[in-house]
Structure 1
Amino acid sequence: MNFSKEFSIASKLNIGPEHPPIVVAEIGLNHNNDEEIGKKTIAAARKAGAQAVKFQSYVTEEFIDIHNPEAKILVDIFKKYELSETMHKKFQKTAEEEGLIFFSTPLCISSLNLLINLQVPVIKIASGDVTNKTLLSETAKSKLPVILSSGAADFFELSRAISFLEKEGTDKLCLLHCVSIYPTPPEKANLKVVETFKNLYTFPIGFSDHTAGSIAASVAVSLGACMIEKHFTLDKNLNGPDHVISANPEELKSVCENAFISWKMKGNGGKKPWPEEINGRFFGRRSLYADLKGNPIALRPDLTQKDTKYLDSWETEKTTFLNPRPGKPFHV
């Protein structure tokens, strides 16, 4: 595949295994179509440590059959939270003032075109649109980086979507492991999928986290996730469909901090002692001492050693040329 192994968003955020994980605060519908709530939520995301905020963009009539009586509940909900172009611009401006990347998930072609006109630096494809060939095609034509979520999808559907995006011209892709259960119980998080994706693909892998708390995000980073997306709300008690399952500011702060710590803890995979370890060897390892007959015996740490040169029990042949007193260590 010709996807980039790493890439940047707006020349600001680098996504890839060699860079710290990106945390995206998924505000989604949690703005309540209220300018003040939306702006406060963006500011809270920045304060918690997120690097980007994401919304959902749509025209209700374009992705739901409003003439179907059985869809009335959905129509009413989505219509209530449908963002106007003006509100998009206000939230985008606020995010930029806070130093955050602003982007969104388009659920229809009109909203995709709106986001392109707003010059967002990346497009997120929702799990539900992995099978939406038209939206995938139009997104690829934008030549923008794509974040693809994978909830409820199998390998065939994902492979088909990924290959199609590549064929249509997308060269920057981040694939998110996702479980579309809200909230996701620990036993169904299936975080080893992050590792599976990482072994299958060379492009960046992330995790759209629908579990409670910050443990899953930290584990995902340790397995190779370069991006964490977490639903975020200013207050879980606000009215709306997603607030109760979203992280509040304190919880998002924990996600951000622990994700970064997990990334630092991964190391480079090479087994080589740190200088601090080497300097402590004289105490932790047994040195060669002379027994009563002058023969070498590994007995105890050599506390008289002033440097890192020592003899261990694999090097008894070297003691032939060293003649310590009984009970004394063989110094190099």
Structure 2
Amino acid sequence: MTALAPAVWGTTYYATTEYLPPDRPLLAGLLRALPAGLLLVAVTRRAPSGDWWWRSLVLGTLNIGVFLPLLFLAAYRLPGGVAATVGAVQPLVVLGLAALLLGQRMTTRAALAGIAGVVGVALLVLRADARLDAVGVAAALGGAVVMAAGVVLSKRWTAPAPLLAVTGWQLVAGGLVLLPVTLLVEGLPPAITAANVGGFAYLGLIGGALTYALWFRGIRVLPATQVTFLGLLSPVVATLVGWLALDQELTAWQVLGAAVVLGALVVAQRTTTVREKGESRADHGVRSVR
């Protein structure tokens, strides 16, 4: 179920280019987050309490409010292949942060799977004539670090509220952070078409409310490292959609890259599962001795 979230996010490029107003990436991020968050808050009728006022702001800022501007900045300053390849370091960052903040042991096998994921994404989307831009690379790295921190902190802080309410809090917080930036940098488009409304509705309801609920649910029930590797599905789906819907070329190198990405993802899931089983047996043995 968690894998559905990054798979749907892989369709964002197609929805943005085909159905949204041109040159309005921040507006797309804002309307993807804020209306969906307000809808979830209205449905659940649950407001944050205690520490969750500031925790929701921190998580919403990391997962949405800061991540999306950095993501779009990298997309504007770098070719898509470079931005996606740099962003693919996120599982490696999560491995380090999970060891530091969650006490999860970083294994060599998981680290190698993370490196293989970066290589696979590079084969999938990187082009030989790709150019580098210092600001764009910094934005892509910053986005990977920010999202990784959001994943690990979401795992560390367990909310005492229903999943949809917590999802709504974060979407609203991230949307409110994006609102002034969007108005100052982009402003509103001169006109909105029916196709634009449909695109915004898809990104808000499916690409926002539904997918973030699935993503945050996965963070609750799965190890953080297992969740973050699923994010590698986004460039795979984006490439597949481009081939099927936009008549983009699909080369043998891209097919190899997709296979490497999926292999790294499977290895990461199995590594975590095996380690959890071993730790569970060890804990059971300690309890038996006691």
| Structure number with larger C-alpha Rg | 1
Normalising by the residue count of structure 2, what TM-score does the alignment of the two structures yield? 0.29
Higher strand residue share: 1
Higher helix residue share: 2
Name which structure has the greater RCO, CA cutoff 8 Å, separation 6+.
2
